[in-house]
């Protein structure tokens, strides 16, 4: 659907649709340790959906970079981090794993969704086209449901 961008569709619907697209496409390079690793030092357990969470993280990172000019690994670490449970003491923020976010950005860069900029990575022209096309499909699907 022409004229529809990622901003026009709900975030959750877009992320699920784009993650399914990345998984069907099969080009995204997934590291071998995704079943074992925690996503943050503040987490107690690894993600429960061991075969899909990397695709969801990649879709979410692509959407986040689409909405901003340029994003680096440090910004994604802050975004995906959370509070750490310190018992009776006050909670504090913990950044997410930089290795996971770095691998996500590298994988998206290899398939042409992202490109390196001066201060981080930004969305490429081909990546913007893909994301807008998926957003159009999500928008059309939501219009059909009503």
Question: Which domains are delineated in the chain?
Answer: 6-83+90-145 (1.10.10.10)
According to DSSP, residue 2 is labeled T
88-105: per-residue pLDDT in tens?
999 999 999 899 999 999
pLDDT for residue 2: 67
**Per-residue confidence at 141, pLDDT binned at 50, 70, 90?**
confident
Mean pLDDT computed over 56-62? 95
pLDDT at residue 145 above 80? no
Q: At what angle do helices 53-67 and 125-145 cross, to 10 degrees?
A: 110
Counting runs of H as helices and runs of E as strands, what totals does the chain give? 5, 4
pLDDT for residue 130: 92
pLDDT at residue 71 above 90? yes
Mean pLDDT computed over 67-94? 91
pLDDT at residue 1 above 60? no
The predicted model scores a pTM of: 0.89
pLDDT at residue 122 above 60? yes
pLDDT for residue 41: 80
């Amino acid at each position: 659907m022409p004229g529809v961008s990622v901003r026009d569709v709900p975030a959750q619907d877009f992320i699920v649709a784009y993650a399914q697209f990345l998984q069907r496409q099969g080009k995204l390079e997934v590291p071998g340790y995704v079943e074992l690793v925690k996503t943050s030092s503040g987490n107690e357990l690894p993600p429960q959906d061991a075969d899909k969470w990397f695709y969801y993280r990649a879709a979410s990172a692509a959407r986040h970079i689409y909405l901003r000019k340029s994003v680096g690994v440090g910004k994604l670490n802050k975004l995906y981090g959370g509070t750490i449970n310190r018992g009776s003491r006050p909670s504090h923020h913990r950044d997410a794993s930089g290795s996971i976010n770095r691998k996500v950005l590298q994988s998206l860069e290899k398939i042409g969704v992202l490109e390196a900029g001066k201060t981080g990575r930004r969305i490429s022209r081909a990546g913007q086209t893909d994301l807008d096309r998926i957003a159009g499909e999500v928008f059309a699907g939501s219009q059909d449901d009503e």
